[in-house]
Copies of this chain bind each other. A is one copy, B any other.
Amino acid sequence: MSLSIDVRRRIGATQLDVQFTVAAGETVAIVGPNGAGKTSLLRVVAGLISADEGRISWDGIVWDDASSGEFSPPEQRPLAYVFQDYALIEHLTVGDNVAFGLRAGGVRRRRARERAYEVLDVVGGSDLVERMPSSLSGGEAQTVAIARALATEPTVMLFDEPFAALDASARAHARRLFSSMRSSSVARLIVTHDAVEALTLADRIVVVEAGSVVQIGTPSEVLATPRSHFVAEILGLNPLSGQLRGDELSLGAMSLTVGAHGVDDGDVIAIVWPRSVSLHRERPEGSPRNVWRTTIDAVDRSDGRVRVQLGTPLPIAVEVTPAGFDALATEPDGEVWASVKASEIVVQPA
């Protein structure tokens, strides 16, 4: 059983063109910049808009086939959809909102109410059951939207930034809930802007940019070889566009030496991990071939780590230990030496 998606669809000025499958039991995270077409993709899968070309099927059953004209409307697709803007039904109480899908499916009122209460309880919203949506806070509304989607026990789940408005603890709770469903035979698609969420919740990550898929892979694959600026940036890595000639990576203002690689000369994207850069008060002696003088533009100390934003000639973010940073004893805006081992720079074709 799997959800197979192969769709082309025009959305305003954006041409959506995606192709991938989601197996039952699998969670796929969709990441990409604002306006990339993530929500539009979910809408096509849900049947709220139809594909211009291509085909969507679940478990062999065709949902949408542009060539044959077959099309199942949303209510005939066994799915649940958490909308980016919640889309709660204003004139129904929270309880009736959560029970809505069950009632629409013919479950008796009393049974639907009970089940709604159960699901609300699981997501931690059982005290909201009698409230009207307009009186909910942002996070409460999102909690209810999640409960409503879970209540019908769908086999395909579409979540559009489902945790954006939740506080840290509710988010952790919701994530745990989400993970606990992993074993079931449900196919899950989750759109998120949160790298940690994508990396921890998903079995695979689909990176969408400007309507097209630029990378599909497991979290560790994507982490190891982020295939675009965006992915690197979202992961807190430093993507650098440059030109490779042999070992030599020229980056405009300066150049770096890179380690062994199998990439042809030409335009490349190089990734520098924040941890792989060291900072020094004096010019370091010894092995690192890539050493340059730079400034510290910003410092961010949180959670016991120190994240430093370097200035020209290579404006990248690096991470050092508090002890290491204190040893630098520089002022902000002070000058330091930075170094990075050639073997720690990963290059790949642009």
Interface residues of A (CB under 8 A from B): 12, 32-35, 38-39, 84-85, 135, 137-140, 143, 160-161, 164-172, 193, 195-196, 199-200, 219-220, 223, 230, 233-237, 273-275, 300-304, 319
Counting chain B CB atoms within 10 Å of each CB, the highest count among A167, A171, A199, A304 belongs to A167
A197 to chain B, nearest CB (A): 10
Residue in B35, B140, B235 whose CB lies within 8 Å of A137: B35
Contact, CB under 8 Å: B302 / A167: no
Q: Which of B85, B138, B196, B235 contacts A34 (CB 8 A)?
A: B138
CB–CB A84/B165 < 8 A: yes
Which residues of chain B are within 8 angstroms of A196 by Cβ–Cβ distance?
300, 302
Check A138 against B39 for contact (C-beta < 8 Å).
Answer: yes
A-B CB contact pairs (8 Å), 9 listed: A34-B138, A35-B139, A39-B138, A85-B85, A165-B193, A196-B302, A219-B302, A223-B302, A236-B303
- Of B32, B168, B193, B200, the residue contacting A233 (CB under 8 A) is B168
Known: A34-B167, A199-B300, A235-B303. A85 touches B161 (CB 8 A): no
Q: How many identical chains are in the complex?
A: 2
- What is the CA–CA distance of A233 and B330 in the complex, to the nearest angstrom? 31
A33 vs chain B, min Cβ distance (A): 5
C-alpha spacing A137/B16, complex, angstroms: 14
CB distance from A143 to the nearest CB of B (A): 7
- Closest residue on chain B to residue A31 by CB atoms: B167
The docked-state distance in angstroms from the alpha carbon of A196 to that of B301 is 9
Q: What's the least CB distance linking A308 to chain B, in Å? A: 12
Query: Which 10 pairs from chain A and chain B are nearest by CB?
Result: A34-B139, A168-B234, A275-B304, A164-B164, A84-B138, A35-B137, A33-B167, A199-B302, A34-B167, A200-B300
Known A-B contacts A34-B143, A35-B139, A139-B35; the reply to A234 vs B167 at CB < 8 A is: yes
B303:A140 contact, CB within 8 angstroms: no
CB-nearest residue of chain B relative to A143? Answer: B34
Query: Given A85-B138, A199-B300, A302-B200, is A167 in contact with B236 using a C-beta cutoff of 8 Å?
Result: no
Q: Are B193 and A302 in contact (CB under 8 A)?
A: no
Also in contact, A167 and B193, with CB within 8 A (given A199-B302, A274-B304, A304-B275): yes
Tell me the bound Cα distance from A303 to B164 in angstroms.
Answer: 21
Q: A34-B140, A35-B139 are in contact. Are A274 and B300 (CB under 8 A)?
A: no
Q: Report the Cα distance A220→B304, complex, angstroms.
A: 11
